[in-house]
Structure 1
Amino acid sequence: MTFVSSTKDAENLTLTLVTEFAADRERVWQVWEDPRQLERWWGPPTWPATFATHDFTPGGRSHYFMTGPEGERAHGWWRFVAIEAPSRLEIEDGFANEDGSPTDPEDSATFLVTLEDTGAGTRMTTLSRFRSLEQLERMLAMGMEEGMKQASGQIDAILAETREDAPR
């Protein structure tokens, strides 16, 4: 992975992370579509994710949890707002209870993932949009920016595998 940029925009309540991969868009798309691949990179290395559900369809939902170094769990939920394979994915995201239900439906954010051909591979842009400056600042204080960088850094190893080599 080549890290290109990370931009915080308090005025527009956004955090944008841009990375590039030496793989075509269809292959990069698979790390979002396949929950077994997704859980190998979603979350920083010290907080690996497990996807209990992953209904990758417009309007579908996912429930996941990340497990910390001491065994603690942080649950999250996604609702797929839009899916345009293999180039665009829009997700509503929030914290969840153990059963996958939102802890506070009003405390959600959205993120838009776009995949673009670069000629040498794929550029992935993840634009996270927050409801308030307080929410953006809280997520940054929790380490979201660094966590996203670390998580994205795990994708290369997955992309290097052929489908036959991939763990099941």
Structure 2
Amino acid sequence: MTVTVRKDPSSRTMTLEAEFDASPERVWQLWADPRQLERWWGPPTYPATVDAHDLRPGGRVEYHMTGPEGDQPRGYWEVDEVRPPHKLVFRDGFANEDGTPNTELPMTTARVTIQPIDGGKTRMSIENEFPSVEAMEQLAAMGTEEGLTQALGQIDAILAEERDQTR
């Protein structure tokens, strides 16, 4: 699987796009099921643990990642829009150890679209909108693009396991 990344400073967006050999409904489950989300949301060296998962408008998803040195950066989503299996919009923020928002780091808006394409495949796009170009640069310096690319790179293996189990 190839992950395409487009950055547009004029609109303050970074968009990641990937195609999967699965239906939109199956790809949606990767977001809707917290145990599946844990398997890919963090990059391989920072696996995620979902602590709360309320995927509905007004809901909140809370998670932490565990790094190779045992550090546990925390994050959360404030869910704005949910239209299974095609659209999810949430504000993605960093959290302090106690789970409160870390206002020293910028919050982004993520717009996920999941759509069928030819051959029974599905295209998933994640557009991240940053509050400013400076915020975009700050999060880029923290490795956001690489982390998301690595995270998405784990999805094919999850989908392949399921295909192998149904044979």
Q: Which amino acid aligns with 1:6?
A: V
The answer to whether the 8 A contact 1:94-1:105 is kept is no
Normalised by the length of structure 1, the TM-score is 0.92
Distance in 1 between the 2:140 and 2:84 partners? 29
Structure 1 match to 2:132:
132
SS of 1:20 mapped into structure 2: strand
Structure 2 match to 1:75:
74
Structure 1 match to 2:27:
28
Structure 2 match to 1:154:
154
Following superposition, the deviation at residue 107 of structure 1 comes to 2.7
Task: Give the structure with the higher percent helix.
Answer: 2
Count of aligned pairs between the two proteins: 163
Following superposition, the deviation at residue 42 of structure 1 comes to 0.5
Following superposition, the deviation at residue 105 of structure 1 comes to 8.5
The answer to whether the 8 A contact 1:2-1:21 is kept is no
Encode CA deviations 1:75-115: one digit per residue, 9 max, x unaligned: 00101100000000001010002232211188311000000
SS of 1:139 mapped into structure 2: helix
Normalised by the length of structure 2, the TM-score is 0.93
The answer to whether the 8 A contact 1:77-1:94 is kept is yes
Distance in 1 between the 2:104 and 2:81 partners? 19
Following superposition, the deviation at residue 38 of structure 1 comes to 0.2
Runs (5+) with no aligned partner, structure 2: none
Distance in 2 between the 1:78 and 1:149 partners? 19
Q: Which runs of 4+ in 1 moved over 4 A?
A: none
SS of 1:98 mapped into structure 2: coil
Runs (5+) with no aligned partner, structure 1: none
Structure 2 match to 1:15:
14
Q: Which amino acid aligns with 1:53?
A: A
Structure 2 match to 1:143:
143
Following superposition, the deviation at residue 156 of structure 1 comes to 1.1
CA RMSD in angstroms, aligned pairs only? 1.6
Encode CA deviations 1:92-147: one digit per residue, 9 max, x unaligned: 01000223221118831100000010122100010000001110001111111111
Aligned identity (percent) is: 53
Q: Which amino acid aligns with 2:26?
A: R
Distance in 1 between the 2:137 and 2:47 partners? 23
SS of 2:29 mapped into structure 1: helix
The 5 A counterparts of 1:63-142 are 63-104=62-103, 107-120=106-119, 121-142=121-142
SS of 2:39 mapped into structure 1: coil
